[in-house]
Amino acid sequence: MLRELKKVVEESGKDAQEFQQTANFVIANQFASAYKHGQRKHYLLLESYQDYFDNLFDALGMKLYINENERLAGVLPVQKEAFVRLKTDETLFLLVLRQIYEEKIENFEVDNGFVATNTHMILDRYVQLVKREIPSETRFKDILALFSRHGVIIRGKSYEEDSKNQMINITPVVRLIVTEAYLRQLESFNGADPDEDDVADADSDLQTENSQETNQD
C-alpha cells in the first residue's frame, strides 16, 4: 500500500503518519465517532479519503463503513473468523443494549444517534429479558470495558447519589454489531439457558482485540 499512501499524501498535503495513525486506531478500536473525544480527527480523515481507506481495509480483509448522518466510521468483517467469538453473557448484554437503544429511538430519546442510559437500567433489563442473575460487579465491568473499547458504549461519570450507578451512552455501533438476524436468535432464547456455541455463532461483527496493526507498506 506504499504507493497508494504516497499518492494520497501528495494529493492531501497531509503527513503520512496521520493516515497511519487513523488506520491503526480503527483496526484497534473498530469505530471512530466525530462526537467522541479524541476520535473526531480520525472520523474526518476516514470521511475525506474514503477511497484510500476502502482499498486499504479491503486488502486487510475488512470493509469500510461510514455513516455521514451519524458521523460514524469504522470497519466491519469480510471473513467472520477475523472477529470476536463472544462469551454468552457478553452476547446477551449486547441484546440488552440493542433493545434499550431501539426503545429510546422509538421515544425520540436520542442525541446525534446516541442514547443515554445507566448501568442500573442495563442490569435491570438484563434480568427482565434473559431471566438470568446479574454477573458479579467485576465481570460486569469487564463486559462494559470490552464494549467501550469497540465503540458500542461510552462510559460516563457515576451519579453522586449512587456511585455504583454509571452513566452510559449507547452508540449507533450497536445496530451494526447486533444485526436483525442476531437479535431474533437471541430473543428466541426467552430465558432458556442457551448453548454457548449457538449464541457465539450469531451474526455479531465485533472485531478481535488482537488484530495486527498495519504499517501500510
pLDDT digits (tens, 9 = 90+) for 56-83: 999 888 899 999 988 999 998 765 544 4
* pLDDT for the residue numbered 60: 86
* pLDDT for the residue numbered 177: 81
Cα–Cα distance measured from residue 34 to residue 47, given in angstroms and rounded to the nearest whole number: 10
* pLDDT for the residue numbered 57: 92
* pLDDT for the residue numbered 132: 87
* pLDDT for the residue numbered 204: 54
Cα–Cα distance measured from residue 203 to residue 76, given in angstroms and rounded to the nearest whole number: 12
* pLDDT for the residue numbered 175: 87
pTM for this one? 0.69
Residues in the chain predicted with pLDDT less than 50, given as ranges, are 81-83, 194-203, 208-217
